Structure 1
Amino acid sequence: MERRCDYYVGKEQFLFFAASFGVPKDSPLGNALSPSSLTGRLTLRGRLPHPPLPHHRLSADKHGQSAASVGVLNAVLEAAAQEEYFVMLVTDKNSQFAGVSGVVAPWGLGVFEVAADGQDANVTQAQLSRVVGQARRLRQASWFVTVVVVSDDPAFLAAFAQGSVKARLMVWLTRLLILTRLPLHQLQPIRKLLSVTNSVLLLLDYTPAIRCSVYIDLPYSSGDAQQFRVATWIPHLGLTLSPGSRLFPEKYDRLANGPRLKVTYVEFPSTKKMVVDDPDAPEGKRVIAMDPEVTLFETIAKDMNFTFQISPPENDAWGVPTPDGSWTGMIGMLQREEADISMSVFHITAPRAKVVDLTFPVTIWYVRSIVRRGSCEVDPWGFVFPLTPFLWVTILAALTAVIFVMVLLSSCLPDQAHTQTRYPNKADSCIRTLLQQDVKVTGWWWWERVMLGVWMLMTVVLTRSYAGNLMSLLAVRYIPLPIQTLQDILDNPVTVLVPGGSTVETSFSDAPGGMLKKVGDLQKTGRFKPILVSELLAYLNSAVRSGHHVLTTIDSRTTVMIAQDFTATGRCDFYQAREEIVPMMAAFAGPKNSPLLPSFNRRVMKAIEAGLYYYWLQLYTPNFTACLKPPKKVVVRTTLAITNLWGTLVVLAGGLTVSLHVLCLEHICSHLPF
């Protein structure tokens, strides 16, 4: 076999740097943070993909304790089933951990050493806060990070636990190893950190022989709950896992102790409830909300083995930011960690993503408006509607013009020709033609007959058009749907109702420009009104039904409210505006870096991909599609009643009254002496 060099190593060496902490000039912390007391060393070890280089192991310190520490760390790291990882080692100076060079770190090693020296706890906390800040930035720039903490100082470990939680150093994908010789009863301050992170506790014991026990803390455990030992390390035997155990288990995939979590939720007034049999519930009955979001949450909660207690926010608000950086409503509760997760879903926005974590999108929402539909009843004055008011005026003007022309031209004839036709006869003939009555033209000139014929042709077209439109209005009734876009809202004198403290409100009020800003500016004139979520249904049945208001909210809620109104009344009294605005994805939310969300998120993704959300949405909403596309015209086959045509009777009565007055006036005038 021919021996040759098919590869070469580049000569450039890169990624070599030193890092230090900065303090104000002449700061009293300068000595505490000097290189002699606080050091940070970063070693980067590269590895080519083909062929893989073996882990380079250097000899540990000859002291037995240091060798045991290195041995158990490497054993746990190798048994964690993760071939490539970056290690950050945090230790205090008193631990005298001299085996740094022997720690296996394929992608590099960062070492942070803090000098505690039995000094004040506040100074230790200040030093650790700086270390944790630097470690967090290093973690954000690295992949597959494993944080190793080595210390026998309980104050140091407690300060690290507090500082890492506050600075959000640990996320679920970051693994944590804490190596110490302290007994378990002295490690109570760090148990919360161990329970909420992907971590293991390595407890070294040198009596009577060197051994190390590996423990984990389950999430949501009480302070007196026993820690679980998952493995044991002995120098000559190596690492031995307990039966059915593994390192770094998915503790949140299914919560072993079935905790009771606090969830925040705002219930829509349109949500229906039903009582079902449940042998585990008090009195054997349980009330369930017929809401797809609640059903999805309850299904995931059952699969993850936790129950929950609902904690609603103040004013039933989703949450908006305040000038001091905090949030109100449900977002504020999650930001302050007053709730473990939300049972309501939120619009995914950049400001919200900065303060909370959001799951896989549950659905895509659009903001639409609910508007009252026009009435399809016959208007008693509908006989006037076939022609527009302008056309009525035009007909009267044309009648006057024809009479005036005929009289004017007749006045130009010789005096002896006036005896053939009289002026009142001409006016009477034009009016009778318009009313489709008979006309006598005996003794008329031919030019007069031509004008009357043209007028008669015009009136035939008008009367036939009027009769056809009138029949259509009586038989096919058109339902007006005037508001379809935001421009229609601006052009019509209606008031916009939106849920207060929600993205719908801020989409209008905080809009930089365009139609959204114009609608939001209606608040200055009282035509834009935020309301409580609990008042949506009441306003729909009162203000919106009156026709002077429109309700603007997410389309899934508008569809449900319209469907429920149809179920109650049997009519489509409302419709949704055609324009879809502010499209946004919606998802559940939890506190920032919550370890509960990765497992919860996987189940949300599976449920949405299976189509369960939309299945539950239609299942819980009878007549879901009944009013989605309401007809604009209705064919009426019923007979007309007096209530439909009383307007014509009013006109008849008015004409008879005027005729009676004219008759009386003529009778009086006939007896006057002139």
Structure 2
Amino acid sequence: MDAFPDIIALMETKLTGMITGVIFPSGYQISDIQMEASAHLVCQSHIRVCSTSMEPHIWSKKFKGKQDMKWSMMRLQQTGLSTQVMEAWLVTQVVEAVLTSTQHGSYSVIFITDGTTSLSTIFMIIDHLRFSGGVGVFEAVANCSDLNNWEEHLSLLVDSVKLLRKLSSYTTIVVISDEATFLAAFVKWSVKGRLMVWSTRLLILTHSRLMELQDLHTTLSNLNSMLVIINDDTANIRCSVYVQLPYSPRGSQVVQVASWTPRRGLLLTSHLPLFPEKFSKFQHKPNLLVAIEHTGYGKLVMVNDPSSGAPRAHFQGSLVKMMEYLSGALNFTYSFVRPPDGVWGLRLSNGSWSGMMGMVVRKEVSIGAGPFMIDRWRAEAVDFTVPMVLDYWRILGVRGLPEVDPWGFLFPLAPLVWATILGMLVMLAAAVFLMYSCGSVKSDDHNSWLEVAFGYVRILLQQDTTLPIYWLWERLLLLVWMMVTLVLTRSYSGNLMALLAVRHIPEPYHTLRDLMDDPSVKLIWEKDSATVPYLRAAKSGIYREIADAENIGRLIFVPRPQFPGLINTLVRRGDHVLINVHGDSKSNIAQDFTRTGKCSFYESKEEFLQIMFAMISQKDSPLVPPINKRMTSMTEAGLFFQWLIAEEPNSTVCDHVPTKITVNEALSVSNLWGMFVILLVGHLTSLSVFSLEILIRLIKQV
């Protein structure tokens, strides 16, 4: 390590004796380094040692001032340089021309070779270009051209490169190989091992002909990649830079975007830049398959097909408008595909996914429109776009029939007023008792204090009092009490008349606790939704109670497409409630109002399980970044919410429906049975007191 004074860290990795990796951080110096790089030859089972003593600036000095010449391999050979140095010069010029015109100010580069390009050549390139963000060098060596053999090697190489890529920024992976089998294996494992994300650029340098690499075109079209084909076997040295365009017809995938010659340098040959944003706007208008299912954001309707005359499924709604917006912005068409099981998707016991999630994971569709709730289980299998809407879960129940509250005669006065009246009667009785107990006012002709106290109660009930009044204090007290009772009785009678004309519309379930406390009601929950694992994983609390309700038949899991039918049957009947997303429930209520003209359903006041909705695509899909860009501008402009309002013209009609309405019709016994209960209780109490008095008199007579 004493030979590397300016290197912060040096990591040499030998993975099962077939891969050598050397990593230099930023600020490295290798011009005076004597380096040995070793790699095992798997097929021959012996070690090849590569020892080089480099003079990295010799070739750059000899070529100085000659860039205006028409260079050829013959001219390079005439300079007296070795083939190794000439190769280093050629690769350096191409890599420098490409990277300096496209890269960020501080970027990292990872070189990968198949062993045919010596490490000395790579180190010459590194020392000349001096990458500001650090550099890594990996070499995989094998002397056989078997694809399976290369895949076995590269499966381990990709893991090491991926680890380095995660620690780097603005990374470009440069692969140098003339072996088509090696390139095919690397591209396959870079995708399978999730090495190539869109932010990582891939530059392949090879002497192979374009036709020999046609099997790579489809895979490379989905990567942020460029292919540089070096032609140095003719009189003129020339490098062609190609880009593979995604979703292009076979034969038109490859587009030459630039060329390089020693004399003229790098020249663009098309309207496309180097490392173009291929997915920001497609050159050819592809047709993408999009997974969707019936929801409040994308409603399923049946329309007649003019060609066949038979009804066919058609989707409409804010989600469809968003797909139209994206298809116009990115230049693609789309076809909707419904999942066979009609669910959004849940991870099964065997590790696979059901519903639309499974269609995306298996790459049966390019986009899952959903919309999907963002959670960590799904995020492990797919990539989410930016959220399009924030929502909550709520309870959807049926509103009861208008009815008069049988205890409504108590409502004209607030409970505190009733308590104050009772307290005032007690105070009056106490005052009369004290005054009559005073010796100075005692008289045998006067009434008892208890009779006077009951007289105040008679006045409150608007009855007369026949007891004579002798004292001035009695008259003053009676005058004040009559004024108070006049105000109370007038207020009570007026409010009671208004309340008897009011009908109460019951909405019994506004919290999850209300549901669990009523054993007669059943809960309908979406099958295979993202909340199902959360319910079943709950250890305690209200969600544990809800999960346990499945064991006794109170919790039913149903696919979302069946929700409209269940709302019109089970939920309308009153013994079932639907646990659903607010946006979807709101759409169902609005559609019911459009059909019937009534607000027959309500949503609970309690909101729970906050969720964010987004679309999905395959893991590391290059479609996600351009979709995110368009969706962000769309949501910031308020387009999505405007589409929601426009799609449901009655979406806000039932938001704040009163639970009490005024009617003008005769009252029935069912409306007033509360007063009859009070009357019956009073009669029973009087009968009990009367019987007790008779019993006491009989006991005294004995």
TM-score (norm. length: structure 1):
0.75
2:99 is aligned, of 70, 74, 77, to: 77
Q: Distance in 2 between matches of 1:644 and 1:16?
A: 91
Residue 99 (str. 1) matches residue 121 (str. 2):
yes
Q: 556, 559, 562: which one pairs with 1:532?
A: 559
Q: CA deviation at 1:243?
A: 4.5
Cα distance in 2, alignment partners of residues 354 and 89 from structure 1: 29
Once the two structures are TM-superposed, the CA of residue 505 in structure 1 deviates from its matched residue by 3.3
The offset of 1:245, in angstroms, is 2.9
Shift of 1:154: 1.0
| Cα 1:271/1:142, change in 2 over 3 Å | closer
Determine the C-alpha separation between the residues in 1 that align with 2:516 and 2:261.
78
Question: Does structure 1 conserve the Cα–Cα contact (< 8 Å) formed by 2:294 and 2:300?
Answer: no
Shift of the alpha carbon at 1:511?
Answer: 2.5
Within the alignment, does 1:585 sit opposite 2:585 as a pair?
Answer: no
Aligned to 1:330: 356
Which residue of the partner structure matches residue 184 of structure 2?
Answer: 158
For residue 142 of structure 1, the aligned residue among 168, 180, 202 is 168
Q: Structure 1 residue aligned with 2:536, among 497, 509, 515?
A: 509
For 1:532 and 1:89, how far apart are their aligned partners in 2?
A: 51
Instruction: State the distance in 2 between where 1:646 and 1:220 align.
Output: 71
Superposition deviation, residue 513 in structure 1: 2.5
> Which residue of structure 1 aligns with residue 112 of structure 2?
90
- The answer to whether residue 40 in structure 2 is matched with residue 18 in structure 1 is no
1:153-232 correspondence runs (5 A): 153-205=179-231, 206-232=233-259
C-alpha distance in 1, partners of 2:385/2:57? 42
1:395-474 counterparts in 2 under 5 A? Answer: 471-472=497-498, 474=500
Partners of 1:372 and 1:352 in 2: CA distance: 33
3-state DSSP of counterpart to 1:314: coil
Question: Could you say what secondary structure the match of 1:477 adopts?
Answer: strand
Q: Is the 8 A contact 2:346 2:528 kept in 1?
A: yes
Q: Which moved more, 1:341-350 or 1:577-586?
A: 341-350
Distance 1:297 1:113 in 2: 45
Aligned to 1:391: none
Secondary structure of the corresponding residue to residue 239 of structure 2: strand
Comparing 596-605 and 217-226, the one that deviates more:
217-226
1:603 corresponds to which letter in structure 2?
Answer: R
In the alignment, structure 1 segments of 5+ residues that lack a partner are 1-10, 24-29, 48-55, 389-432, 442-456, 652-674
After TM superposition, the structure 1 = structure 2 runs for residues 607-618 of structure 1, keeping only pairs within 5 Å, are 607-618=634-645
Q: Is contact 1:366-1:554 (8 Å) kept?
A: yes
* CA shift for structure 1 position 589: 0.8
Cα distance in 1 for residues equivalent to 2:377 and 2:57: 47
Q: Partner of 1:8 in structure 2?
A: none
Call closer, same or farther: CA 1:58–1:84 in 2, change over 3 Å.
farther
Match of 2:392 among 366, 370, 389: 366
Question: Would the aligned equivalents of 1:58 and 1:102 in 2 still touch at CA under 8 Å?
Answer: no
Question: What is the CA–CA distance in structure 2 between the aligned matches of 1:119 and 1:313, rounded to whole Å?
Answer: 42
For the residues of structure 2 that align with 1:361 and 1:369, how far apart are their CA atoms? Answer: 23
Bigger Cα displacement from structure 2, 94-103 vs 294-303: 94-103
Q: For 1:229 and 1:348, how far apart are their aligned partners in 2?
A: 40
Distance 1:352 1:83 in 2: 36
1:543-570 deviations in Å (ceiling 9; x for gaps): 1111111111110011111111112212
Q: Which residue is 1:670 aligned to?
A: none
Residue 559 of structure 1 corresponds to: 586
**In 2, distance between residues paired with 1:549 and 1:141?**
54
Matched, 1:247 2:240: no
- In structure 1, the residue matched to 2:25 is 44
Dislocated runs of 4+, deviation >6 Å: 273-279, 285-288, 462-470, 642-648
Per the TM alignment, residue 288 of structure 1 is displaced from its structure 2 partner at its CA by: 6.4
Counterpart residue type for residue 228 of structure 2: L
Supply the distance in 1 between the matched residues of 2:57 and 2:303 (Cα, whole angstroms): 64
- The amino acid across from 2:21 in the alignment is G
In 2 relative to 1, CA 79–13 (structure 1 residues): closer, same or farther, beyond 3 Å? closer
* Paired residue secondary structure (2:175): strand
Match of 1:127 among 141, 153, 174: 153
Q: Which residue in 2 is equivalent to 1:268?
A: 295
How far is the alpha carbon of 1:188 from its aligned partner?
1.6
Across the aligned residues of Structure 1 and Structure 2, the Cα RMSD in angstroms comes to 3.8
Structure 2: runs of 5+ lacking an equivalent: 29-55, 61-80, 412-457, 467-481, 677-702
1:67 matched residue in structure 2? 89
Q: Secondary structure at 1:187's aligned position in 2? A: helix
* Counterpart Cα distance in 1 of 2:308 and 2:217: 34
SS in 2 for 1:93: coil
Deviates more, 1:512-521 or 1:342-351: 512-521
**Distance of 2:58 and 2:386 partners within structure 1:** 45
8 Å CA contact 1:39–1:114 kept in 2: the answer is yes
Q: Is the 8 A contact 2:13 2:22 kept in 1?
A: no
Distance across 1 between alignment mates of 2:104 and 2:119: 24
Q: 2:337 aligns with which of 302, 311, 335?
A: 311
- Aligned CA distance change for structure 1 residues 507 and 140 (closer, same or farther; 3 Å): same
1:107-118 equivalences in 2 (<5 Å): 107-118=133-144
Listed one character per residue, the Cα deviations across residues 150-209 of structure 1 (whole Å, up to 9, x for unaligned) are 111111111111111110110111011011111111102221232011111101113231
Please identify, of 12-21 and 620-629, the stretch whose mean Cα deviation from structure 2 is larger.
Answer: 12-21
Q: Which residue of 1 aligns with 2:522?
A: 495
2:379 aligns with: 353
* 1:618 alignment partner AA: I
Report the 3-state secondary structure (helix = DSSP H, G, I; strand = E; otherwise coil) of the residue aligned with 2:276: coil
CA distance in structure 1 between the partners assigned to 2:387 and 2:258 by the alignment: 39
How many Å separate the matches in 2 of 1:646 and 1:360? 54
Shift of the 332–646 alpha-carbon distance from structure 1 to 2, 3 Å rule, reads closer
8 Å contact from structure 2 (residues 197, 620) kept in 1? yes
**For the Cα contact (< 8 Å) 1:174–1:198, is it kept in 2?**
yes
Judging changes above 3 Å, is the alpha-carbon distance between structure 1 residues 59 and 134 closer, same or farther for their aligned structure 2 residues?
Answer: farther
TM-score, normalising length from structure 2? 0.72
Aligned positions, number: 555
Residue 602 of structure 1 corresponds to which residue in structure 2? Answer: 629
Question: SS at the partner of 1:502?
Answer: coil
> Which residue type is aligned with residue 133 of structure 1?
D
1:475 equivalent in structure 2: 501
CA distance in 2, matches of 1:647, 1:16: 89
Asked if the contact 1:161/1:189 (under 8 Å) is kept, the reply is no
SS at match of 1:20: strand
Q: Specify whether residues 57 and 136 from structure 1 end up closer, same or farther in structure 2 by C-alpha distance, changes over 3 A only.
A: farther
Partner of 1:257: 284
What displacement does 1:503 show? 2.0
| Structure 2 Cα separation of the partners of residues 630 and 376 of structure 1 | 13
Q: Distance in 2 between matches of 1:276 and 1:615?
A: 25
TM-fit CA distance, 1:317: 1.1
Q: Please give the per-residue CA displacement for 1:54-76, whole angstroms capped at 9, x wherever unaligned.
A: xx978477423442222111111
| Matched residue type, 1:328 | S
Distance 1:153 1:282 in 2: 53
The answer to whether the 8 A contact 2:297-2:317 is kept is no
- CA–CA separation in structure 2 for the residues paired with 1:621 and 1:133: 51
